[in-house]
Amino acid sequence: MQEKKKPFVTIQNRENKEMFWVPRPTSSGNMHCVAGFNLMRYLPLVDAINQLEYAVAVDVKVVDSEMSFILVKLTKEKSFGQFTEDIAELIYQYVEMATPTPETHVGTKASIDGHN
55 in Cβ contact with 73 (< 8 Å): yes
Instruction: Write down the H helix ranges in the chain.
Output: 43-51, 80-91
Q: Which residue has the higher pLDDT, 102 or 1?
A: 102
Question: Could you report the per-residue pLDDT of 18-63, keeping only the tens digit for each?
Answer: 899 999 999 999 999 999 999 999 999 999 999 999 999 999 999 9
CA distance 116 to 104: 21
- Whether the model clears a pTM of 0.85, i.e. scores above it, the answer is no
Q: Which domains are delineated in the chain?
A: 19-96 (3.30.70)
pLDDT at residue 116, as a whole number: 41
Phi, psi of 19 (to 5 degrees): -135, -10
Does the pLDDT at position 106 exceed 80?
Answer: no
pLDDT at residue 111, as a whole number: 35
CA distance 100 to 113: 34
